[in-house]
Structure 1
Amino acid sequence: MKYFSTRGNVAGVGFIDAVLMGLADDGGLLLPEQIPHLTEADLARWSKLDYKALAHEIFSIYVDGDISPEDLTELIEQSYSTFRDPAVTPVRKLSDEAYVLELFHGPTFAFKDIALQFLGNLYSYISRKRNSIINILGATSGDTGASAIEGVRGKEGIRICILHPHQKVSRVQELQMTTVDDANVLNLAVKGNFDDCQQLIKELFADVEFKTKHHLRAINSINFARILAQTVYYFYAYFQVAAQHADAKINFSVPTGNFGDIFAGYLAKRMGLPIHKLILATNENNILERFVKEGAYQLGEFRMTHSPSMDIQIASNFERYLFYLHNGDAAQVERLMRQFKAEGQITIGSEQLTQVQTDFAAHGVSNDECLGTIRQTHETTGYLLDPHTACGIAAAKTHSGSGEITVTLATAHPAKFDESIQLAQIEQTFPAEISALFDKPQHQTIVDHSKEAVVEHIVKLYQA
């Protein structure tokens, strides 16, 4: 399996080199040359596997010889043995028509652990095998940073710098990142929002000379390994629900801001998983909802919401979907991305909009609807949702039809967002690991939103 760029100027890249490249050197995103289509026999066989064995089957397709089967087994075991539930991503029933897929049983209580535990171990493996330097640079709207740091902290040969928007993440998210006092970890709190942080990351990775000189590696979902790891739990959840509901139409409702998590579901569907609907849940930063409904991908007014990890306007994985929407026309994708950078908007034609609406349904959830969904679900089922999962549940209610079952991705433990839970007038008990954070000193550097300020600090870390 080889990888190529959505913009057409990078091709023939192996899996490990694709992981190391992160953002393609031409500024595009990497995709596999082929997406295998599974047979009914393949799906039947996979449906009997536990999570780790299923991950091995899926990873093997895309790794394709770059990692031996034995080493891959060890990487998967290292990555998922740290999870608090033996199922890794258990499925919980709320009603006959509604399930939640709990993705928060990893070390930092967020779905990002599923990809970043694997990616952290993979980077360590690559560093040992190739005797190479791994300097990780990433941006976070809250959860990615903590998960990435937890995935690589203390690992020999790896240093990591994470940018987060200053005072625009939850208190627990901030503490999970900034209470880590390891020499190989640097937290930069940028005066701006997540899109500002993400843009700085893309600029630095697009500077190929700087990227090469400092051995920059990506942990954001621009790295295809992140998408690959997230694809596994769509298969796993589908098989769990289908085993209880033969011949059911099964939907997935996905809280998403960066389009990575729902793109993983789109990839699973292209592979042949018979997902009925992919429901895209956003908050008041609803650029993706407007694209699905109107065909216009256009920057709007940035809003701070009760679901801060989705307070994103520019969805970094959207370009991957644009590539497939335009039938693999890399030149057209490059033109559209240049236009978006210059004008802040792109539009598609009616035929393409019809395809988008075949691929996705979408719902933007207001702050009031988010809190109302948390309260109502808690009152009727006793289940406490975090605010992002609440957006997913609200979208599921909007778009689930008669005879359909919808699995909502529960992307974080509610303790990570107690500010929103308190607004919903619910008291919760924190897990011991989260309670302990409040007594620890913090380690972070506040910087201006400028490339020069960020470069100054990361160069010091990477040269240490």
Structure 2
Amino acid sequence: MANMATYHSTRSKAPALTSKEAIRRGIAPDGGLYVSDALGDATVDLENLADKDYFELAREVLGALLPDYTADEIAACVTEAYEGTFASDELTPVVPLSCAPNADNVPAYVLELWHGPTSAFKDVALQMLPRLMARTADTDTDCTATADTGATAEADTASASSPAPAEKIMIVTATSGDTGKAALAGFADAPGCGITVFYPEGKVSRVQELQMSTQEGGNVSVCGVRGNFDDAQSAVKRIFADRELAERLAAQGVRLSSANSINVGRLVPQVVYYFAAYAQLLRAGSIEPGDAVEFCVPTGNFGDILAGYYAKRLGLPVAKLVVASDKNNVLYDFLTTGTYDRARPFFTTTSPSMDILISSNLERMLYYLSDGDCELVSQLMDQLAQGSYEVPAELLAKIQQVFGCGWADEDQVAAAIKSCWEANGYLIDPHTACGYHVLADQPATPGAKARVLLSTASPYKFPRAVASALGLFCPPSDFACMDVLAKATDTTAPEQLATLQGKPVLHTDVVDVDGMSAYVENAARAL
């Protein structure tokens, strides 16, 4: 295991922080994201990978990436986050597709990441983040979380935590649909913590909106924003960079932090399921140790696929990481041309969690593949603030060796949902459908022995889009659509989604983008 890692901004090597401090702060004061130059110094042994369950893998991976947490702290976090909170014993099960999407016949599999309490992949990380946050103990207050599922972080499991001062944490996050509910589920009623979630009004699915607007908890604030996700995310970053606001909040004993994947504590738990997928393929006899696997990842903010890059740096045999985009294909254009241009039309699609034009985690990738060139990263981010940037040709070539890409328009998304169902009897949501289309459209990476498509959400989070793609009649209510979909496909909606209809709406606030800062400050006063 490596020595205790230090984290620093993607835009500056100083100051150096422990992972606990980086998780506590969320985002660097200069606007950069926290990274560790020790990434890859510690690797995960593949020899006995097939013998390890998800809990063992999580302890090993998190221990490698967060070495200033003790083994006891990591073990307690893993138990609290995952014991009894997921519907599958595997947590993130791998399901084979009976018919490979592409004619090259490389076996294809789906990694189901949506068996947690909010039916989205964000649960894997956001059941973990509050537990990690709770153990930023030497300078921070205890904010041990109680999740929606009733899984409580018992006081005696925080064994390595020292007594904490009175400073409270206000989690502030912008969501394109799934992060918000998953973060709310993790942080609701967490002692010493509050959470404020902003979502783009009218640009998330009805189910996603209800998941957030019905959230219970005395420390919870949920607010729509008149704008799109990029507007909300950019405003949140400005809130974190507002020193006068930080001083006012500090006077009240409040510090801001983030639950988006800009927070390294949100990112690193996602690395685990890449190893878990590989272990399941080994146990099934689908691959041999050392065989390369291609991963296709629907992504907008680049965090889910960046976790795959971290897994690769930790020793996982990754043939390629393939970005699957929807009609907002800014990542596709960047990965094919080297130019990132945010000044482009924004489309509201059936895959709202990917309706993003500014992919925050791309900054971490640029840092690592430029060999830690903070000056270059800072220059590129300054240029992006003006509209666009272009990476040097040699850097683009390095990026393209690791990452592939593809995208699907709305017609192709619907066709992919229908094709996957007809060929495999397997139901997918619109985000996963973007990836299915890319798998069908492109041959496997040479040398890949298997292709794994990350499925990021239950199809029942988007019942209207899925039912419509299958040619089913769609009633006005999304919940009626769930019933139609269930009967037509002989599948079952997750209980936490099916029962949303009867829950009272508790949050109806809506603000303009320029009102978000004041909203956060008001929410902080209530802590």
State if a TM-score over 0.5 links the two structures.
Answer: yes
Distance 2:91 2:329 in 1: 31
Amino acid at match of 1:357: Q
2:207 counterpart of 1:166: no
Aligned to 2:109: 99
Amino acid at match of 1:75: C
Aligned to 2:363: 319
Aligned to 1:31: 35
Aligned to 2:133: 123
Aligned to 1:68: 70
After superposing on structure 2, the runs of 4+ consecutive aligned residues of structure 1 that deviate more than 4 Å are none
Select the residue among 169, 172, 181 that pairs with 1:137: 172
Distance 1:413 1:404 in 2: 27
Distance 1:209 1:48 in 2: 52
Amino acid at match of 2:365: Y
Amino acid at match of 1:72: I
Distance 1:12 1:350 in 2: 30
Aligned to 2:458: 413
Number of matched pairs: 460
* Identity level (%): 40
2:480 counterpart of 1:428: no
Equivalence map 1:67-86=2 (5 Å): 67-81=69-83, 82-86=85-89
Aligned to 1:252: 295
Amino acid at match of 2:209: E
The structure-2 alpha-carbon separation of the partners of 1:59 and 1:209, relative to structure 1 and needing over 3 Å to count, comes to farther
Equivalence map 1:146-295=2 (5 Å): 146-211=181-246, 213=250, 214-243=254-283, 244=285, 245-246=287-288, 248-295=291-338
TM-aligned CA deviation for residue 353 of structure 1:
2.1
- SS of residue in 2 equivalent to 1:363: strand
TM-aligned CA deviation for residue 206 of structure 1:
1.3
Q: Is the Cα contact below 8 Å between 2:188 and 2:216 reproduced in 1? A: no
- SS of residue in 1 equivalent to 2:12: coil
CA deviation map 1:223-281 (0-9, x unaligned): 01111100011111122224422264310000000000111101111222111011100
Select the residue among 21, 25, 37 that pairs with 1:21: 25
Q: Is the Cα contact below 8 Å between 1:400 and 1:406 reproduced in 2? A: no
Structure 1, 46-55 or 146-155: larger mean CA deviation: 46-55
TM-aligned CA deviation for residue 312 of structure 1:
0.3
2:118 counterpart of 1:108: yes
TM-aligned CA deviation for residue 86 of structure 1:
1.2
TM-aligned CA deviation for residue 9 of structure 1:
5.2
CA deviation map 1:124-144 (0-9, x unaligned): 344324233111100000100
TM-aligned CA deviation for residue 186 of structure 1:
0.5
Aligned to 2:399: 356
TM-aligned CA deviation for residue 37 of structure 1:
4.7
Amino acid at match of 1:110: A
Select the residue among 399, 423, 430 that pairs with 1:387: 430
Distance 1:361 1:19 in 2: 30
Equivalence map 1:337-356=2 (5 Å): 337-342=381-386, 344-356=387-399
CA deviation map 1:340-370 (0-9, x unaligned): 101x111123322221211111001111111
- SS of residue in 1 equivalent to 2:195: strand
Select the residue among 507, 516, 526 that pairs with 1:444: 507
Equivalence map 1:363-402=2 (5 Å): 363-401=406-444
Distance 1:233 1:62 in 2: 14
Distance 1:10 1:20 in 2: 17
- SS of residue in 2 equivalent to 1:4: strand
Structure 1, 68-77 or 425-434: larger mean CA deviation: 425-434
Select the residue among 1, 6, 31 that pairs with 2:10: 6
TM-aligned CA deviation for residue 398 of structure 1:
2.6
Distance 1:175 1:150 in 2: 13
Structure 1, 311-320 or 117-126: larger mean CA deviation: 117-126
TM-aligned CA deviation for residue 71 of structure 1:
2.3
- SS of residue in 2 equivalent to 1:346: strand
Distance 2:257 2:50 in 1: 34
Structure 1, 104-113 or 387-396: larger mean CA deviation: 387-396
TM-aligned CA deviation for residue 27 of structure 1:
1.1
Distance 1:231 1:278 in 2: 13
Distance 2:449 2:78 in 1: 33
- Mind listing any 5+ residue stretches in structure 2 that lack a counterpart? 99-105, 143-160, 473-483, 487-492
- SS of residue in 2 equivalent to 1:400: coil
Distance 1:398 1:325 in 2: 27
Q: Is the Cα contact below 8 Å between 1:195 and 1:314 reproduced in 2? A: yes
CA deviation map 1:159-190 (0-9, x unaligned): 11000000110111111111013221000100
Q: Is the Cα contact below 8 Å between 2:226 and 2:513 reproduced in 1? A: no
Distance 1:72 1:112 in 2: 19
Amino acid at match of 1:43: L
- Mind listing any 5+ residue stretches in structure 1 that lack a counterpart? none
Q: Is the Cα contact below 8 Å between 2:35 and 2:364 reproduced in 1? A: yes
Q: Is the Cα contact below 8 Å between 1:29 and 1:222 reproduced in 2? A: yes
Q: Is the Cα contact below 8 Å between 1:322 and 1:333 reproduced in 2? A: yes
Aligned to 2:150: none
Distance 2:341 2:432 in 1: 25
Q: Is the Cα contact below 8 Å between 1:280 and 1:362 reproduced in 2? A: yes
Q: Is the Cα contact below 8 Å between 1:4 and 1:30 reproduced in 2? A: yes
TM-aligned CA deviation for residue 75 of structure 1:
1.1
Amino acid at match of 1:374: I
- SS of residue in 2 equivalent to 1:169: coil
Distance 1:449 1:9 in 2: 36
Q: Is the Cα contact below 8 Å between 2:332 and 2:406 reproduced in 1? A: yes
- SS of residue in 2 equivalent to 1:188: strand
Q: Is the Cα contact below 8 Å between 1:189 and 1:444 reproduced in 2? A: no
